[in-house]
Amino acid sequence: KRGWIEVICGSMFSGKTEELIRRLNRAKIARQRVEIFKPAIDTRYHEEDVVSHNATAIRSTPIQFANDMLLLASGCDVVGVDEAQFFDEAITEVCVHLANNGIRVIVAGLDMDYLGKPFGPMPALMGVAEYVTKVHAVCVQCGDIASYSFRNAVSQEKVLLGETDSYEARCRHCFMEGMKGK
């Protein structure tokens, strides 16, 4: 069997989780053995499920370290990872290792943080992936295609988990306009 790496990236509300769940469900239809991991810190909707903003969900395993996947993913055909931006840098070598061992690895995560800067291990993951898909949200200010996650909250804490009231999807123009007032 041959493995590879797929990355699904974009802003908040761009449908990363939706697209991840779609691909994983199709793998399940094909009777592939599927396992989904997410960082243990992402418990905003459910302790174990990976949940999209449009409320579709899939059973997942919360893990603390990227390395935990090595043991838990053995025997899988397809491995999904959601909120990959929150994992430690080891996530990249772990995904490469799994792909080298015949596993299809599908990684979803924010490509930029609320400051518009590349987020954690995502640039490295995009570098080693065979396929990179960038999905887009709709700018809540003007309706253009949005690729930025604008934060309304005052806290400077980077790992503030997503909620509709504190973050909004914005296009480049409206994101930059919003940052002027900060």
Among 3, 7, 15, 24, interactor with ligand ADP by CB under 6 A: 15
Q: Within 137-156, which residues bind ligand ADP (CB under 6 A)?
A: 137-138, 140
* Contact window for ligand ADP (CB under 6 A) among 36-44, 64-72, 84-92, 132-140: 132-140
Q: How near is the Cβ of 102 to Mg ion at its closest, in Å?
A: 27
- Return contacts of 170-173, CB within 8 angstroms, 24+ apart: 170/11, 170/139, 170/140, 170/141, 170/146, 171/139, 171/141, 171/142, 171/144, 171/145, 171/146, 171/147, 172/147, 172/148, 173/142, 173/144
Q: Whose Cβ is closer to ligand ADP: residue 3's or residue 20's?
A: 20
Alpha carbon distance 86, 102 (integer Å):
25
From 12, 20, 22, 69, select the one nearest 44 (Cα to Cα): 12
Clarify whether 177 is annotated catalytic: no
Active-site residue, selected from the candidate residues 19, 35, 83, 168: 83
* Binding of residue 169 to ligand ADP (CB under 6 A): yes
Among 11, 17, 60, 149, interactor with Mg ion by CB under 5 A: 17
Asked if 63 and 72 count as a contact pair (C-beta separation under 8 A), the reply is yes
Interacting residues toward ligand ADP by CB under 6 A:
10, 12-18, 52-54, 137-138, 140, 169
Interacting residues toward Mg ion by CB under 5 A:
16-17
